């Protein structure tokens, strides 16, 4: 296909939109649509190349096609991954590094889009800790490179039939993308079947217009419309309102119009064909490869940018690395025409094995936690100490508990004798309570809904939750309220972040989180206990664990692991807090418990002395963040629940 400089100019818009979006530059809130622009361009170029060969020879030389793809894409990718691995070794904590190893494996076999779909979404905060997240789009394109040649070859005998089939697949993929965006945005964003229509838009344009449309002198206003649609998408599209879905149509259509009218001598194409856009377009692949690891590792290391200058400097570094990659890696390998396809394939296989081996080692060795010192390791272990056994847990799809997470614990051949209802604090204590249930040979039923106060007669409005999540909390509590009397159990334990509900706000690191209950906390608690008293003869309440305002196991791990100087006092203040100060935080919730016919389970004596409350005990991290215990903490504290599991009539009083 004849070189068209305006396509490189269009690539420059796409890649800079993505880069500036990721670095948080104002005005580029929809910059992620640059990937959609790339998809259309890829479909147009690859579809054109394959169709031209097919039309001329009646066949597709797969070895030559894939050899070219490998030489074009693999070298720069491999260098980026290996360099990123080296810095990730020095910077990432074991849990994140373990996930990096998993991503290395997935991206090497072109399945990283599937991996990240199964993890948190592209727009989630956790995405900023995944240094290879951007390889999802490369996997989608590689899947396209595998599917398209086969499809063209099978349907090549009848061009009309080919275009009809491609158009039907295009329509089905687009419709599925729009529908799936509302039910599973992550699937619609990552998975090939919901992105295929974007690349097929380019393929159809290349095949149908190869001899017709590009000979037309189409009005310049189509180029203007195309550029407006692309830039409009970059500026206006908001992922929160559902993307890709129908919103992706605008940048895709804009790109199609620009490609369609690319040979028209108008001002839009002259600008796209000018030196700077073309220069950026030439390094666009390398820039896309490098900018995301630079962003993730730099912001991870410094724990977030503190000035507007920092992102600018990292963008400049990304461009410099991209130029070096293009000049010394990408271009030389792409132009190496004297290398046989056999050498290309064998080299690709060997390098792939190397990457898979490295990724597997990182994953199987749990991110090599021994890279850091003892002080850091305590908190590093705490930061990963939240994975739990969910084999017996489930969410009923119907009945009174529909939509509520339920987890039986203890012997599975008994009916539960205790029900434990709570929020995420119950979830945090799950491993400890489950161990005690096994030790006491008593079955129990855990019921929880994260971020949802275990209270009747109350609705909530929470800044950290969506309106839908607030409604789901109300619905869950209504179902629990109806179901509890039918369980035939006469003992219940309530677990919650009571100070948060009573005070209406978090503390320290999460002080920005606000919650408003429809009635005062004390009134809601009184009404709840009164109603529960009609069903349960024994009611227990877990006194909330002390909140350590500024503790975050991940943050303190980074400070210690990276050897930051001058933070000794800051680290000490994070780990140990005045008992008196923390007691004042829970006064409001404590008042609400006064006079109620309940038994209080108190973890404070094991977490605090007269002077301070600590997150580390006997060299073990008891806290994950400022208000949730780790699995280790839950197990070490499990004996406080002895009264809940003591049933004298069954001879279970020992150990209590």
pLDDT at res. 653: 45
As a whole number, mean pLDDT of residues 219-233 equals 93
Task: Indicate whether 434 and 358 sit together in one domain.
Answer: no
Confidence band, pLDDT 50/70/90 cuts, at residue 63 = very high
What does pLDDT average to over the chain? 92
Which residue did the predictor score with more confidence, 412 or 198? 198
Task: Indicate whether 450 and 321 sit together in one domain.
Answer: no
Closest CA to 637 of 453, 435, 441: 435
Neighbours of 294 (CB within 10 A): 23
Are 249 and 185 in contact by the 8 Å Cβ rule? The answer is: no
Q: What end-to-end distance do the CA atoms of the chain give, in Å? A: 80
Are 376 and 368 in contact by the 8 Å Cβ rule? The answer is: no
Number of domains making up the chain = 2
CATH number at residue 643: 3.40.50
Q: How far apart are CA 203 and CA 255, in angstroms?
A: 13
Place of tokens 């969410």: 395
pLDDT(216) > 80? no
Confidence band, pLDDT 50/70/90 cuts, at residue 122 = low
Are 462 and 448 in contact by the 8 Å Cβ rule? The answer is: no
Task: Indicate whether 440 and 494 sit together in one domain.
Answer: yes
Domain assignment present for residue 416? The answer is yes
Domain assignment present for residue 325? The answer is yes
Q: How far apart are CA 230 and CA 18, in angstroms?
A: 12
CB crowding 307-333: b at 16 or more within 10 Å, else e: eeeebeebbeebbebbbebbeebbbeb
pLDDT at res. 217: 56
Task: Indicate whether 451 and 527 sit together in one domain.
Answer: yes
Model confidence, pTM: 0.83
Task: Indicate whether 347 and 493 sit together in one domain.
Answer: no
What six digits make up the tokens of 282?
Answer: 């030439």
Domain assignment present for residue 145? The answer is yes
As a whole number, mean pLDDT of residues 65-83 equals 98
Query: Among 339, 369, 399, where does a domain finish?
Result: 369
DSSP 545: P
Instruction: Give phi and psi for 68, each to the nearest 5.
Output: -65, -40
Contacts for 6-9: CB closer than 8 Å, 24+ residues apart: 6/258, 6/262, 6/269, 6/272, 6/273, 7/41, 7/45, 7/259, 7/262, 7/281, 8/272, 8/277, 8/278, 8/280, 8/281, 8/282, 8/284, 9/271, 9/272, 9/273, 9/274, 9/277, 9/278, 9/281
457: left (phi over 0), alpha (psi -120 to 50) or beta: left
Confidence band, pLDDT 50/70/90 cuts, at residue 614 = very high
Q: How far apart are CA 19 and CA 1, in angstroms?
A: 28
Per-residue pLDDT tens over the stretch 283-292: 999 999 999 9
Domain assignment present for residue 379? The answer is no
Q: Which helix (H) or strand (E) holds 339?
A: none
| Alpha helix (H) residue ranges in 445-544 | 467-483, 498-503, 521-532
What six digits make up the tokens of 560?
Answer: 């210690």
Domain range enclosing 139: 5-369
Task: Indicate whether 285 and 403 sit together in one domain.
Answer: no
What six digits make up the tokens of 220?
Answer: 């310049």
Query: Among 336, 369, 402, where does a domain finish?
Result: 369
Closest CA to 102 of 354, 353, 359, 296: 359
Task: Indicate whether 268 and 146 sit together in one domain.
Answer: yes
Q: How far apart are CA 272 and CA 300, in angstroms?
A: 35
Pairing of strands 620-621, 616-617: antiparallel
DSSP-assigned letters across all residues of 608-641? B-SSEEESEETTEE-BSSSS-B-HHHHHHTGGGG
Instruction: Give phi and psi for 105, each to the nearest 5.
Output: -65, -50
Task: Indicate whether 101 and 195 sit together in one domain.
Answer: yes
Domain assignment present for residue 560? The answer is no
41-45, 67-71, 403-407, 535-539: the lowest-pLDDT one: 403-407
pLDDT at res. 211: 55
Place of tokens 């195309």: 226
Per-residue pLDDT tens over the stretch 555-606: 899 888 887 655 677 788 889 999 999 999 999 899 999 999 999 999 999 9
Domain assignment present for residue 561? The answer is no
Confidence band, pLDDT 50/70/90 cuts, at residue 157 = confident
Q: How far apart are CA 77 and CA 142, in angstroms?
A: 13
Domain assignment present for residue 378? The answer is no
DSSP-assigned letters across all residues of 396-414? -SSSTTTT-EEEEES-TTS
Neighbours of 612 (CB within 10 A): 17
pLDDT(154) > 70? yes
48-52, 138-142, 155-159, 163-167: the lowest-pLDDT one: 155-159
Task: Indicate whether 351 and 500 sit together in one domain.
Answer: no
pLDDT(423) > 80? yes
Q: How far apart are CA 209 and CA 215, in angstroms?
A: 9
pLDDT at res. 651: 44
| Alpha helix (H) residue ranges in 92-134 | 94-108, 112-118
Neighbours of 339 (CB within 10 A): 12
Task: Indicate whether 259 and 406 sit together in one domain.
Answer: no
pLDDT at res. 654: 43
Task: Indicate whether 362 and 403 sit together in one domain.
Answer: no
pLDDT(132) > 80? yes
pLDDT at res. 384: 85
Are 476 and 449 in contact by the 8 Å Cβ rule? The answer is: yes
| Alpha helix (H) residue ranges in 326-421 | 331-334, 341-364, 374-383
In whole angstroms, how large is the CA radius of gyration of the chain? 29
What six digits make up the tokens of 191?
Answer: 């998975």
Which residues, 6 or more positions from 588, have their beta carbon under 8 angstroms from its beta carbon? 499, 502, 503, 521, 522
Query: Among 335, 369, 403, where does a domain finish?
Result: 369
Task: Indicate whether 172 and 305 sit together in one domain.
Answer: yes
Length of the chain: 656
pLDDT at res. 127: 76
Are 54 and 27 in contact by the 8 Å Cβ rule? The answer is: no
Domain assignment present for residue 617? The answer is no
21-35, 115-129, 414-428: the lowest-pLDDT one: 115-129
């Amino acid at each position: 296909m004849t070189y068209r400089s305006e396509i490189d100019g269009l690539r420059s818009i796409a890649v800079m939109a993505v880069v500036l979006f990721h670095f948080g530059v104002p005005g580029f809130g929809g910059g992620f649509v640059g990937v959609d622009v790339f998809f259309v361009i890829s479909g147009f170029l690859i579809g054109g190349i394959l169709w031209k060969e097919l039309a001329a020879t009646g066949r597709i030389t797969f070895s030559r096609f894939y050899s070219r793809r490998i030489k074009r894409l693999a070298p720069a990718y491999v260098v980026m991954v290996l360099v990123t691995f080296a810095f990730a070794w020095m910077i990432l904590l074991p849990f994140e590094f373990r996930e990096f190893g998993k991503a290395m494996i997935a991206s090497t076999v072109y399945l990283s889009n599937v991996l990240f779909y199964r993890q948190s979404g592209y727009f989630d905060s956790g995405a900023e800790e995944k240094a290879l997240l951007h390889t999802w789009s490369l996997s989608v394109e590689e899947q396209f490179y595998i599917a398209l040649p086969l499809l063209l070859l099978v349907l090549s005998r009848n061009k009309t039939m080919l275009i009809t089939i491609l158009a039907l697949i295009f329509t089905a993929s687009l419709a599925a993308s729009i529908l799936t965006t509302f039910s599973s945005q992550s699937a619609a964003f990552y998975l090939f079947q919901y992105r295929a229509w974007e690349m097929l838009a380019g393929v159809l344009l290349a095949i149908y217009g190869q001899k017709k449309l590009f000979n037309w002198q189409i009005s310049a206003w189509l180029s203007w419309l195309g550029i407006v649609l692309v830039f409009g998408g970059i500026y206006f599209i908001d992922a929160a309102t559902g993307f890709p879905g129908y919103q992706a149509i605008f940048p895709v259509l804009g790109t199609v119009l620009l490609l369609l009218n690319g040979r028209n001598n108008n001002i839009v194409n002259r600008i796209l064909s000018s030196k700077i856009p073309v220069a950026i377009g030439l390094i666009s692949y390398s820039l896309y490869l490098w900018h995301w690891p630079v962003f993730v590792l730099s912001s991870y290391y410094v724990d977030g940018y503190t000035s507007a200058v920092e992102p600018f400097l990292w963008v400049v570094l990304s461009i410099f690395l991209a130029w070096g990659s293009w000049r010394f890696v990408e271009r030389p390998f792409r132009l190496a025409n004297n290398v046989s396809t056999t050498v290309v394939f064998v080299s690709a296989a060997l390098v792939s094995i190397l990457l898979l081996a490295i990724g597997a080692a990182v994953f199987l060795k749990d991110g090599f936690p021994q890279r850091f010192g003892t002080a850091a390791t305590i908190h590093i272990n705490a930061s990963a100490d939240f994975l739990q056994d969910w084999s017996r847990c489930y969410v009923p799809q119907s009945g009174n508990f529909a939509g509520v997470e339920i987890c039986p614990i203890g012997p599975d051949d008994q009916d539960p004798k205790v029900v434990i209802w709570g929020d995420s604090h119950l979830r945090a204590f799950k491993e400890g309570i489950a161990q005690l249930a096994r030790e006491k040979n008593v079955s129990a039923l855990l019921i929880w809904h994260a971020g949802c106060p275990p209270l009747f007669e109350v609705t909530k409005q929470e800044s950290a939750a969506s309106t839908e999540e607030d409604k789901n909390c109300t619905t869950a509590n209504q179902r629990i309220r109806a179901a509890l009397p039918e369980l035939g159990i006469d003992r219940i334990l309530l677990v919650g972040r009571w100070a948060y509900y009573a005070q209406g706000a978090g503390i320290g690191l999460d002080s920005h989180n606000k919650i408003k209950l429809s009635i005062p906390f004390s009134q809601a608690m009184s009404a709840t206990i009164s109603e529960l008293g009609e069903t349960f003869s024994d009611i227990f309440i877990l006194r909330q664990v002390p909140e350590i305002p500024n503790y975050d196991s991940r943050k303190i791990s980074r400070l210690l692991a990276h050897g930051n100087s001058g933070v000794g006092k800051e680290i000490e203040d994070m780990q140990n807090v005045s008992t008196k100060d923390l007691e004042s935080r829970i006064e409001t919730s404590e008042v609400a418990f006064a006079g109620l016919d309940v038994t209080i389970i108190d973890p404070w004596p094991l977490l605090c002395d007269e002077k301070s409350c600590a997150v580390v005990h006997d060299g073990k991290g008891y806290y994950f963040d400022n208000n949730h215990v780790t699995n280790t903490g839950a197990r070490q504290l499990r004996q406080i629940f002895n009264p809940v599991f003591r049933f004298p009539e069954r001879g279970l009083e020992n150990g209590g």
